[in-house]
Amino acid sequence: MQKRKLGNSNLEVSAVGLGCMGMSFSYGPPKDKKEMTSLLRAAVERGVTFFDTAEVYGPYTNEELVGEALAPFRGRVVIATKFGFDLKTDPRGVKGAPGLNSRPEHIKQVAEASLKRLKVDAIDLFYQHRVDENVPIEDVAGAVKELIQAGKVKHFGLSEAGVKTIRRAHKVQPLTALQSEYSLWTRTPEKEVIPTLEELGIGFVTYSPLGKGFLTGKMDAQTTFDNSDFRSTLPRFTPEALKANQALIDLLGKIGKRKKATVAQIALAWLLARKPWIVPIPGTTKLHRLDENIEAVAVELTPDDLRDIESAAAKITVHGARYPEKLEQMTGR
C-alpha cells in the first residue's frame, strides 16, 4: 500500500483509508460486530493504516467497535474521530438537523470519552464534525490546541468547513486535514476549497468518494432504500435522480474497460490523481469491496485518461441535491 502525507504535517497514512460509519450507522441496521472486527483487522493486514469514525456514529458504538478491533495494532494505525454534535438532540438528523455543540468545555468532554472508547492515549486526528456558528472558530481551535498541548490529541481537522473558517482556524492551531465530500459527482470543493488547502499546506480527506455507493455502478432507478438507510432521505437517491445520473457510471465504465478496472476503482483512481495530498476514505462492510477499493491504488490514469474523464464529465449534469436543505445548510460555513 502506498502512503501519503496529509498536507505539510508529519501525519503519514495509507493512500486509501477506511470509513467505518456504515458498520454501525446510517446504511441500514448495524452490522455484526464480529464480522466488522474481522474486516477492520483484514484492512490492517492489507496495509490500510487510516480509519475514520465519530462519536455520533451509533452514537458511540462505532468508536467502541473501532477501538476494540484495532487495539492490537496501536502505533501502527491512525484513527480519526470527530466532535461537534449535541447528542442530547436527535443525532441522526432524521427528524431535522441534529443539534451542534462546539463549546470548548464540550469538546474536552468529548475528547475524554472518545479516548476511552478508542482505547488510546491520544486521538491521532480530531475533527470538528460541522461548523457551529454559535461558537467562534478561534475558540474551537483554541480548545483543540490545549488538548494537543496536553498530549490528548495529535492533529486538528475540520469537516465540511468553508474557506474563511479554514483560514481563521488555521491561524490559531494549524490544520492537518479538512474532511469533506468530494467525488466525480460532488465537485464543489474544486472552486475555492482545494486551492486554499494547497496554499496553506492542509491535507484533504475525502469522504463518500464513491458517492455513497452510487459510483460503484451497482445502483439504478429500481434501487430502493429502507427507512434505516439515510439515503432514503437524500434527493440524489430518488429513482429519477438515480436514472438521470447513470451517465456518470457509463463514463467510468468506459474508462474502466480500457484500464481493466471496475467503475469504483476508476472513481477512486481519479481522486488519487487529483493531488498527492488527497486521501479518500471509502466505507464498506464487505471484504471483497475492501480489496477492490485497495486495488484502486494500483490503477494509473494517464493525462489522456484524465482529459477524457474531464471532457466527458463536463457534459454531464448531476441531478439532485446531496443533502436535504437543513443538512446542506450545515456545510460550507
CB 141 within 8 A of CB 173: yes
Q: How far apart are CA 100 and CA 83, in angstroms?
A: 9
Question: Cα-flanking dihedrals φ and ψ of residue 57, to 5°?
Answer: -75, 100
Active site residue 207: no
Q: How far apart are CA 209 and CA 189, in angstroms?
A: 13
The burial class, CB within 10 Å (0-12 / 13-18 / 19+), for 190 is: exposed
Catalytic residue among 27, 57, 127, 182: 57
Amino acid at 244: A
Q: Which helix (H) or strand (E) holds 40?
A: helix 33-45
Q: How far apart are CA 82 and CA 148, in angstroms?
A: 15
For residue 105, the tally of other CB atoms under 10 A from its CB is 9
CB 152 within 8 A of CB 182: no
The burial class, CB within 10 Å (0-12 / 13-18 / 19+), for 314 is: exposed
Q: How far apart are CA 245 and CA 168, in angstroms?
A: 37
CB 286 within 8 A of CB 31: no
Report helix, strand or coil for 250: helix
Q: What residues are labeled active site? A: 57
